[in-house]
Structure 1
Amino acid sequence: MDIAIREGLAEARALARQHWQALLTYVGLGVVLPFLLLSSEPIFDLRTLVAIAADPWTYRVSGSITGPLYLLGIVSLIVSGALLAAWNALLADIREGYISEIMYGLVAGAAYLAVNMILYFGVGIILSLPILLLAAFQPVQSYGIALAILRYIVSALLGSWIYARFCLVGPVMAASGRLEPVSAFAESWRRTRTAWPRLLGLYLAIYVLSGLLTLALLAPHLFILFNSAPGSFAETAMSVGWLLFWAAYFLMLLLVPAGLYSASEDRTTVEVFA
């Protein structure tokens, strides 16, 4: 079994043209709603984060951390649910309507989110072990910058490889209406067995491009924060820019795996009846 990247991206464009109304709905649910929820919490304001980073010893944030963490959990569940609901809308043989898709997305999205958190938390611990071991023998300052750069490169490579192998989990779940993700992880691993080098290159390119776009938005936003009053028109315009960026990123997370799944599904069908 193989997956052609060009064919997968063509399938993604076809799905976008065919289901553009559903995509707009789920961008509203998975991007706009979380954006508004996070905007309601002062700790997530960029001005607050810059102030904490600039003076972490004297700057104090009032209130409990429980509220922000609780809000982050809700937002993560909403985003995962919107992704699963959208994949169900794009890939299911018969659509059952938005209410059914959203209910499915919330249930399946919770399981999908939980397994992904366990997976990436485990990878994070593994990547942190070398730093902890080295810190036990000599001061971190003596190798901090080089190790940080190395850790960033390894994280990008390992993270992209993991995503390349498991990029089809959500589409596999949603296409068949599964509520448990374990079998979908196994199927994604099987379907990407021969295509993972190309998928790794694709997701590395997406990773680098997303990082560059983030820096392209962050630099002018920081300039505006340091040179304008809170609530200015320029700051509002930057918030709109971030919203559009996250909408585009959400669509990428949604459409690219859906297209790759469709390409692998078509190829599987050809192999079965060849």
Structure 2
Amino acid sequence: MIKMSLGAAFSETFGFLKANWMQMLLWLGGAVVLACILGWLLLRNAMGTMMMASGDPSAAFGALGSFFLFAILAGTIVFAASLLIWRTGLVGGEPASDIGWGLGAGAAYMLAMIVVYFATIIAMYVVMLIIGLLAFAIFGASGMSLESLATGGASAGLILFGILFYIAIIVFFLWFFGRLSVAGPIMAVNRSANPFSAFAESWRMTGASQWTIVGFNLLMAILFFVFFFVISMLLGSVTAAMMTPDAGAGAMIGGLIVALLIYVPSVLISVSMPAGVYRSISTKAGSDVFA
């Protein structure tokens, strides 16, 4: 295991973005277009069906099934595009020849992430139950009642306890999914379709840099927030014009441009981050950059 520095993570992330941004636009753009077509085919009648199915549960479940199927297919396509980008950027080669593998691996990766996510949520609720019982034993029923919280009667200790617990949940999710963050690049490099072995390898590789990865993800989240804020301040008038009842085609086009300016860089950087972390912890040269 190689210990990663924040400088290496930033350098490798934006280096990957610089070298592969055209491929990323091509494959992710194609994935979004294909997902939109699937959405139109699968969901064009689902919303109307749900609105008219108040007395017909079977119709409502059928519409929900359409939404679920769309989510599965769209997720598979997007994950497949990401795997193809990671493989091309980290190993090289022609991504078109790996489309079949990418779709299969993308479906496996997405379903595995769903399993891991729900398992984590269930475990979190179990922990919350235990912590809640502990808080009940410490602060008592009266101190945890809704009336005491609404009237400000809750003790300072209970409020501090709640704040610390909330922060702990956020840190846990950042840490846990940070440990799994290079599973996708690992699958891409090895041309594997087994996400669980990639999770295990990611857990091993990120061990020496786990808190650096948490810090890197936090810093990137802050940068994303600042970026969104600046763009919204600079182009807020366009968004406001789009929201007016008499908004014309120009305002709609302007709103689309604003959305592209915000979301395209965000998606490209988000896909580059796992590759950057992978490079930083898997090669000695990557870990020495700005160390």
TM-score, structure 1 normalization: 0.73
Change over 3 Å in CA distance of 1:122–1:193 after alignment to 2: same
Give the gaps of 5 or more residues in structure 2: 54-62, 133-140, 151-158
CA shift, 1:139, in A, is 7.2
Partner AA of 1:16 in structure 2: L
Q: When the two structures are aligned, how many residues end up with a matched partner?
A: 253
1:26 counterpart residue number: 27
The 8 Å contact of residues 13 and 272 in structure 2, kept in 1 or not, is answered as: yes
TM-score, structure 2 normalization: 0.69
The 8 Å contact of residues 217 and 242 in structure 1, kept in 2 or not, is answered as: no
Aligned-partner Cα distance in 1 for 2:172–2:277: 20
Aligned-partner Cα distance in 2 for 1:151–1:44: 40
Aligned-partner Cα distance in 2 for 1:114–1:148: 33
Cα-to-partner distance string for 1:192-226 (whole Å, 9 max, x where unaligned): 11211111011123334445666775995985675
1:250 equivalent in alignment to 2:249? no
1:237 counterpart residue number: 254
1:108 counterpart residue number: 105
The 8 Å contact of residues 28 and 78 in structure 2, kept in 1 or not, is answered as: no
CA shift, 1:103, in A, is 2.1
| 3-state SS, counterpart of residue 283 of structure 2 | helix
1:48 counterpart residue number: none
Cα-to-partner distance string for 1:60-96 (whole Å, 9 max, x where unaligned): 834633323322222111111111111111112x40x
Change over 3 Å in CA distance of 1:231–1:269 after alignment to 2: closer
Q: Please, which moves more after superposition, 8-17 or 167-176?
A: 8-17
Aligned-partner Cα distance in 1 for 2:45–2:173: 28
Partner AA of 1:98 in structure 2: P
| 3-state SS, counterpart of residue 163 of structure 1 | helix
CA shift, 1:116, in A, is 0.9
- CA-atom RMSD, angstroms? 4.1
Give the gaps of 5 or more residues in structure 1: 46-59
Match of 1:204 among 213, 218, 232: 218
Aligned-partner Cα distance in 2 for 1:148–1:73: 36
Give 1 or 2 for the bigger CA radius of gyration. 2
Change over 3 Å in CA distance of 1:77–1:257 after alignment to 2: same
1:195 equivalent in alignment to 2:209? yes
Cα-to-partner distance string for 1:160-187 (whole Å, 9 max, x where unaligned): 1122211111111101111111221111
1:57 counterpart residue number: none
| 3-state SS, counterpart of residue 194 of structure 1 | helix
CA shift, 1:230, in A, is 7.0
The 8 Å contact of residues 16 and 272 in structure 2, kept in 1 or not, is answered as: yes
**Kindly, what percent of the aligned residue pairs are identical?**
24
Partner AA of 2:9 in structure 1: G
Aligned-partner Cα distance in 2 for 1:238–1:155: 35
Aligned-partner Cα distance in 1 for 2:74–2:95: 19
1:163 counterpart residue number: 177
Match of 2:186 among 172, 190, 198: 172
Aligned-partner Cα distance in 1 for 2:206–2:9: 13
